[in-house]
Structure 1
């Protein structure tokens, strides 16, 4: 677990912190308008990419964790997930075409749009879920870090003006493709020859269905925010919001590898030693919650300094948005811990999905009625409110369950 934890922190650095090394450069070279267009395209395809991911990062990771010592079963899981992703990529293409032809703000930069499409396709097929499940993250993470480090280096070498915006997306897509190819080649040492079947692919889709709903609804009010905001505001306003969102995600990354590395182990222990799983969950709780609260407090205090240092004086409007979004760090940590780390491994996805579903409905209403009026500020408050709904519902569900890791205080009170 320690090796996987260090590996996942490396992936977090490559995914969130390394890009922050380039953001001061890009913010100044591209300017607010081009940076906003970049954020909108990245947001759009990070959201649409969930069609290929489909929630396999949870459902297939859990299956790989349970059968991590059975090579034949791992081969079957890997083949079924690959076949399912091929089917889902066709749907991904159709929806991308619909967005391109019917949403003018995204059709205005065709090269940018389709480079984003290619990168999202490659990222959708990545095998991090497999290595996380079998708890062999070290080399896979190293490959991912090296590819993303090369992407950052290329930005500094070749991007010189707003006209080089397509290079930014192009280099990012190339990094995703290279990481996929190398890690796919390495997966052969943990599996036999793959065979694809329609029945196996459909079975994988069935297994991941509940987590697909969770991922889809979650991404709609998180990752999709910049793309949705672009429908109502100029690209420069999207840049202000996206900057605040990026910094918030960096704060969240301080502890998210902990939840990722605990997930396969908890999935295993729930099926083999429930009491040990409860102890591990409590340990995770006492580590993650204080970290998340401390991260939010430090971020709130340093917000003006951080925004000016990283993005420059042109982006001063990001400060207030960043301070609003910081509330999400402890809120999301609670919902992720109680939802993904306990409800999902214990087969109670339906309760988690109900919380996500209600939050998604609230988000849709807010995007329709509040965001057009209050713009980026309305989007920020909407996200915090939606995350709060989920956190309250999943905590209540866990404490009410008969296998709660903290006992059953709510059940005792109700009986009295």
Structure 2
């Protein structure tokens, strides 16, 4: 393992991120059996659809700042004024984007029947997702100082989960799920913003500062928007084709699979700033670090996929209950995601983005979104939830194929310039 890759600072940040993400994904593993039994497949399906739509709104508010902001903060680690300008610009931009997302939610309430029937659930889900989008983790990831903010986040998430268990008692209480979790997320976001302001001055940057932040985050927003179309909105899209009960079966399997996949997140978040700095300051060292990062990510991804897919017959009844038998084959398919996505993360976040190859990365993901849309139209009417699971996995495999080709192309040695006068 490259020593530059896992320095003491990276190891500290990795421990902090692992702690935060273990809680982030352990808590849903605790709440999933409770909610599956308390709400039932139908109410849980409606909740899943509302949360999936709300996460699309969060995507707009976040606007790729988790990547563009972290990358820029890593470059400005020693520039306090520059960090303050970055933090202020992104904060102002998020205010504008939150207003735009609220207008989209109002439109969805009028156009989508299930949201029109349950507006309280829809707006509670919006508040939960918006609060998550306001998290300042990107700032601390960039400056590689994650211990304090992750501790605060863990404590508040545990408190929110405790409230969920105390308040949710039946299908009619579905809105309380995002309400309790959203309250904890909002408190965490405010605490994180206060902690960030202690590292960098938070001032009104003017509309020009917000515009600069939006322009810098634009390319990463394209990536996040396109990838989320086929990664986080599956339950919402599936609800356009099948009954809520079948959405519930799919949502149960997807949440287990995504919980396993989420264990990759601490690795790429801890390592991304380091790869960004190495790509600029020490290209040869970055090559060795990339190989180490690939082995680490792939080994972890394969272990997670084997556990999820092979263990599906035991995980589903344990976590969801006996009523979710149709979720077993869905988890077998979706369980393949961690292995495939570990490679996609490595190629995209550790190689292409640190080298400024945003366009190639974004075009790949945009193409994947179009492919996924075509696969949904073709497979879901024929295969229902299983067709949706297949569409998601095939799309990620297509992304892997293209990113591998771009990676190989980017490593080609430059051709020597032809001497003048030769034809």
TM-score range, shorter chain: over 0.9
Q: Does 1:78 align with 2:57?
A: no
213, 218, 222: which one pairs with 1:213?
Answer: 222
Structure 1 contact 400–410 (Cα < 8 Å) conserved: no
1:9-88 to 2 correspondences below 5 Å: 9-88=18-97
How many angstroms does 1:253 deviate by? 2.6
SS in 2 for 1:221: helix
Q: Aligned partners of 1:330 and 1:391: how far apart in 2?
A: 11
- Shift in Å, 1:90: 2.3
The structural deviation recorded for 1:184 is: 1.3
Residues 65 and 133, structure 1, Cα contact 8 Å, conserved in 2: yes
Residue 314 in structure 1 maps to residue 305 in structure 2: no
**What displacement does 1:409 show?**
9.6
Matches of 1:168 and 1:327, distance apart in 2: 28
Structure-2 separation of matches of 1:213 and 1:11: 27
For residues 204 and 303 of structure 2, the distance between their equivalents in structure 1, rounded to whole angstroms, comes to 48
- Per-residue displacement from partner, 1:148-200 (whole Å, max 9, x unpaired)? 11111112222221122121121011011110111111112101242221111
Q: Note if 1:302 corresponds to 2:311.
A: yes
For structure 1, the 5+ residue unaligned runs are 412-416
Q: Write out per-residue CA displacement over residues 183-238 of structure 1, whole angstroms, 9 at most, x where no aligned residue.
A: 11111210124222111111111111111100000000110011111112121111
C-alpha separation in 1, matches of 2:12 and 2:295: 21
Q: Identify the residue that residue 95 of structure 1 maps to in structure 2.
A: 104
The 4+ residue runs of structure 1 with deviation greater than 2 A are: 253-256, 366-370, 408-411
Q: Which moved more, 1:162-171 or 1:70-79?
A: 162-171
CA contact (8 A) 1:258 1:288 kept: yes
Contact 1:32 1:239 in 2 (8 A): yes
For residues 164 and 211 of structure 2, the distance between their equivalents in structure 1, rounded to whole angstroms, comes to: 40
Distance 2:351 2:264 in 1: 17
Offset at residue 410 of structure 1 (A): 13
CA-to-partner distance for each residue in 1:38-85, whole Å, 9 max, x for gaps?
Answer: 111111111221101110111111000111111100000001111211
- Report SS of the residue matched to 1:68: coil
1:89 and 1:22 map into 2 onto residues whose CA distance is: 28
Cα distance in 2, alignment partners of residues 39 and 319 from structure 1: 18
Query: Is contact 1:355–1:393 with CA below 8 Å preserved after alignment?
Result: yes
Whether 2:235 is the aligned partner of 1:233: answer no
Equivalent residues of 2:372, 2:392 under 8 A apart: yes
**Aligned 8 A contact 1:399 1:409 in 2:** no
**C-alpha displacement of 1:368:** 2.8
Matches of residues 6-405 of structure 1 in structure 2 within 5 Å? 6-401=15-410, 404=411
- Looking at structure 1, the residues matched to 254 and 19 of structure 2 have their Cα atoms a distance apart, in angstroms, of 20
1:368–1:105 distance in 2 versus 1, CA, 3 Å: farther
CA distance 1:31–1:398, change in 2 (3 Å): same
Structure-2 separation of matches of 1:15 and 1:372: 34
Q: CA deviation at 1:35?
A: 1.3
Per the normalisation by structure 1, the TM-score is: 0.94
State the Cα deviation string for residues 11-34 of structure 1 (Å, max 9, x = none).
212322211111111111111111
Per-residue deviation, 1:369: 3.4
Q: Deviations over 1:279-334 (max 9, x none)?
A: 22111111111221122112222110111111111001110000111122111111
RMSD across aligned positions (CA): 1.6
- Segments of structure 2 that go 5 or more residues without pairing to the other structure are 1-9, 416-423
Give the CA deviation at 1:396.
Answer: 1.2
1:414 match: none
Give the Cα separation in 1 of the matches to 2:341 and 2:163.
Answer: 33
Q: Is the 8 A contact 1:327 1:384 kept in 2?
A: yes
User: Shift of the alpha carbon at 1:257?
Assistant: 1.1
In 1, Cα distance between the equivalents of 2:306 and 2:242?
A: 30
The count of aligned residue pairs is 406
